[in-house]
Amino acid sequence: MTEKKKTEAFLAAISYAGDVEADRIKEEGIRRAEERISAAREEARAEAEAAAAREIKRAELREAARVSEAESALSAEVAKEREAAVTRILGRAENKLVWFTATPGYEEYMKNAAARTAKMTEGEEDRVILIREQDERLADALSEAAGGIPVRVSDSVAVGGLICDSRGMTCDLSFGSAIGSMRETVSREFEKAMRGEAEK
């Protein structure tokens, strides 16, 4: 082989090797570019999912706040309605009790109540029956019905009825306490009824 042919063969070999290396570099570049694109797509997808999750969470929190606000408003409305209903019912009951204190039967009721409290507090020391100022005219009759227990006027009896107080116990037959108990009962029953309606 002549020197010229050797040179041509050498140059052809170098050219071929260059072409092979260029192809390899090109393919490597394409592969890396595809990897970067794939990674960028994955990153973009993950970012989009994270953004969507954040937006969903924000929407859930907004919705939860709206629901909580609505529940609070409903609870306040129910409480207001309950209070109005209790006040109406107890207002009528209190009016009836006030009306009863002006009837002839009230004196008989008070004598029986004094006798009952005397029995319930029998054996207790320093017993005293407390009545409202408007019932002071009944003091002697009540003391007699209670077996001599002294009777005094007290601010603790406002609507009517009486309280027998002693060192060891208190027997409360006052109308004010009865109305207080009725208030608790009516309020409880109203709340149960409202809960029953909400569960339907």
**What pLDDT, in 10s, does the model give residues 38-96?**
777 787 777 777 777 787 777 777 877 776 776 777 667 766 776 676 677 767 878 88
Q: In what order do the strands lie in the sheet with 151-153?
A: 151-153, 128-131, 161-165, 170-174
Q: What is the mean pLDDT of residues 10-18?
A: 73
pTM, full prediction: 0.55
Q: What is the mean pLDDT of residues 27-34?
A: 76
Beta strands at 128-131 and 161-165: parallel, antiparallel or unpaired: antiparallel
Percentage of the chain modeled with pLDDT above 70 = 88
Q: What is the mean pLDDT of residues 170-189?
A: 87
Where is pLDDT greater, at 166 or 108?
A: 108
Where is pLDDT greater, at 3 or 155?
A: 155
Question: Which two structure tokens, joined as six digits, stand for 139?
Answer: 């003091």
What's the pLDDT at 29?
72
**Measured CA distances, 99 to 79, 92, 125 (Å):** 29, 10, 34
In the chain, the DSSP E strands lie at 128-131, 151-153, 161-165, 170-174
pLDDT, tens digit, 9 for 90 and up, residues 89-125: 767 878 888 899 999 999 999 999 999 999 999 889 8
pLDDT at residue 199 tops 90: no
Q: How many CB atoms within 10 Å of residue 149? A: 21
145 — pLDDT class (breaks 50, 70, 90)? very high
Q: Cα angle vertex 188, ends 183, 190, to 5°? A: 95
Q: What is the mean pLDDT of residues 165-172?
A: 88
200 — pLDDT class (breaks 50, 70, 90)? low
* CATH topology assigned to domain 104-199: hypothetical protein PF0899 fold (3.30.2320)
Phi, psi of 102, deg, nearest 5: -100, 5
* Contact by Cβ (8 Å): 127, 151: no
What lies within 8 Å, CB to CB, of 54 at 6+ separation is none
Percentage of the chain modeled with pLDDT above 90 = 32
What's the pLDDT at 86?
65
Q: In angstroms, rounded to a whole number, what is the distance separating the alpha carbons of residues 164 and 46? A: 78
Q: In angstroms, rounded to a whole number, what is the distance separating the alpha carbons of residues 101 and 117? A: 19
